[in-house]
């Protein structure tokens, strides 16, 4: 055997030794990802609720970076050497995948919304089908505080451009006091434009509904009236303190207790009718959010005082028998928080067979809580009736009674689509019916 042939043999053996294990590992990983995708499709978790990664397969080189960087975990996976959407419902719009893609093959957006009856028809400047009526925040389909703030400031700039240096005859009306409404109202005030800022509750929007000390992930954002928010996480209390600082500095014309009821075209603008006032304006900014009113179970006993639809302070509940109903992030966070309080017995009831739409962090916390005995999950279960000292649950076709002191229901909200339709706002290819 010549030295040249021996070299070829050794080289081939080395290539074989490295290549075969890699191919075996790659094939195993591919099968696992494909199985996760098939399962996600089976239970519907692959379908995005709001924003999600949109992959340009002609650009994708299958490097897998996007599958590893997402803070929510396994939103994307590699199948057949290409990135695919696996758990679209888990995406909350961090856009880390987009920023990390070396070939610019990912955008984060809503995709084709022409047939979606839960997303309003908006122009590039976030204007609805009604002239000078803008929609910002979650109602437009994008979650995350950063998106809300950017949209609020963007619409304020659009209004200023349309005014072209003149002052409007009537104040601009901003409805909604969450991050989107705050960013828009304060931006308009900084532009020296008159603003009436309304909300049915107090400033804070969805943030007000968060449990005490809840951590909120906030990517770096320049918040109008405050400046750069550079921390990765802020507690509920920190966010509300920032809100308060902005209010003290700008003293906006904010009016709480105004529930939007109607909006009519009037001469060159609109007349807004709320539960407390009738207001004329040229420009309307709707930052209403998607939560609406809490969705109820519609079961006997639900009107009792021990039933609640939000949890603000888990530490107030100790030595209690508690039922948490729901399968979303709010339900999981409530169950885990209550389960760690002294002497509580916490049961988590969910109508499906598994949790499919919760954040990775909450999934990990729940698994820990179940392992430690803090939370007892009841899958494929529904509440049948509520009594003073117990609750009856249908668990996989069998009625069971649980001793009960308090019930927290997180069955989502009834979005204000009916209200929006009554205002004349169009959704998808048609109005909401």
Tens digit of pLDDT for each residue in 293-302? 788 999 999 9
pLDDT value of position 431: 37
1 pLDDT band (50/70/90 cuts)? low
Domain 133-293+416-423 falls in which CATH fold? FAD/NAD(P)-binding domain (3.50.50)
351 vs 370: CA distance, rounded Å: 18
Q: What is the CATH number of domain 3-109?
A: 3.30.70.20
Q: Give the pLDDT mean for 167-195.
A: 95
Distances (CA, A) of 217 to 16, 28, 105, 309, 313: 46, 34, 25, 23, 20
199 φ/ψ angles, rounded to the nearest 5 degrees: -160, 150
Is residue 107 within 8 Å of residue 157, measured between CB atoms? Answer: no
Q: How confident is the model at residue 324 (pLDDT cuts 50, 70, 90)?
A: very high
- Looking from the CA of 226 toward its CB, the CA atoms found within 13 Å total 23
pLDDT, averaged across the chain: 84
Lowest mean pLDDT among 205-214, 340-349, 410-419: 205-214
Q: How confident is the model at residue 116 (pLDDT cuts 50, 70, 90)?
A: low
- What CATH number does domain 307-412 carry, 3.40.830.10, 3.30.700.30, 3.40.50.720, 3.50.50.60? 3.50.50.60
DSSP helix/strand/coil, 378 = strand
Q: Is the pLDDT of residue 187 over 50?
A: yes
Domain with CATH 3.50.50.60 in the chain: 133-293+416-423, 307-412
pLDDT of 433 higher than 50: no
Q: Rounded to whole angstroms, how far apart are CA atoms 64 and 44?
A: 23
pLDDT at 19: 66
Q: E strand or H helix at 149, and its extent?
A: helix 145-163
User: Dihedral sign, CA of 349, 353, 354, 357?
Assistant: negative
Cα torsion through 183, 186, 191, 197, rounded to 10: 110
Helix (H), strand (E) at residue 243: helix 236-250
Q: Is the pLDDT of residue 49 over 80?
A: no
Tokens of residue 200, six digits: 């049915």
Measured CA to CA in angstroms, residue 143 lies from 109, 116, 373 at distances of 11, 17, 33
Ranges in the chain annotated CATH 3.30.70.20: 3-109
Q: For residue 432, what pLDDT is reported?
A: 37
E strands within 275-319?
278-281, 284-286, 293-294, 307-308
């Amino acid at each position: 055997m010549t030295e040249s042939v021996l070299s070829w043999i050794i080289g081939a053996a080395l290539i074989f030794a490295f290549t075969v294990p890699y191919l075996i590992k790659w094939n195993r990983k591919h099968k696992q990802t494909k199985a996760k995708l098939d399962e996600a499709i089976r239970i519907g978790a692959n379908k995005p609720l709001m924003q999600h990664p949109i992959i340009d397969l002609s650009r994708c080189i299958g490097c897998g970076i996007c599958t590893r960087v997402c803070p929510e975990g396994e939103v994307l996976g590699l199948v057949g050497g290409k990135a695919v959407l696996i758990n679209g419902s888990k995406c909350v719009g961090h856009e880390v995948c987009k920023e990390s893609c070396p070939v610019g093959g990912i955008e984060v957006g809503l995709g084709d919304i022409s047939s979606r009856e839960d997303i309003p028809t908006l122009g590039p400047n976030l204007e609805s089908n009604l002239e000078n009526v803008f929609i910002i925040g979650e109602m437009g389909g994008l979650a995350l505080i950063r998106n809300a703030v950017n949209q609020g400031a963007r619409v304020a700039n659009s209004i200023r451009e349309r005014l072209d240096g003149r002052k409007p005859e009537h104040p601009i009306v901003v409805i909604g006091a969450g991050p989107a409404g705050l960013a828009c109202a304060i931006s308009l005030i900084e532009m020296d434009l008159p603003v009436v800022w309304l909300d049915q509750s107090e400033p804070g929007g969805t943030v007000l509904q968060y449990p005490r000390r809840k951590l909120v992930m906030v990517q770096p954002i320049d918040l109008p009236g405050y400046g750069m928010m550079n921390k990765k996480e802020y507690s509920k209390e920190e966010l509300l303190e920032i809100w308060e600082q902005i209010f003290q500095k700008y003293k906006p014309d904010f009016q709480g207790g105004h529930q939007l009821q109607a909006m009519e075209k009037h001469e060159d603008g609109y007349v807004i009718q709320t539960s407390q006032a009738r207001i004329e304006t040229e420009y309307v900014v709707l930052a209403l959010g998607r939560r609406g009113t809490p969705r109820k179970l519609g079961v006997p006993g639900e009107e009792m005082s021990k039933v609640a639809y939000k949890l603000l302070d888990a530490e107030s509940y100790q030595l209690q028998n508690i039922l948490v109903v729901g399968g979303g992030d709010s339900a999981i966070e409530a169950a885990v928080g209550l389960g760690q309080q002294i002497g509580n017995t916490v049961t988590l009831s969910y109508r499906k067979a598994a949790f499919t739409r919760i954040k990775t962090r909450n999934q990990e916390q729940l698994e820990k809580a179940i392992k430690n005995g803090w939370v007892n999950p009841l899958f494929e279960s529904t509440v049948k009736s509520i009594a003073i000292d117990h609750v009856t649950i249908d668990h996989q076709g069998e009625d069971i009674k649980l001793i009960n002191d308090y019930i927290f229901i997180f069955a989502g909200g009834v979005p204000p689509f009916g209200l929006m339709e009554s205002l004349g706002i169009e959704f998808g290819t048609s109005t909401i019916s």
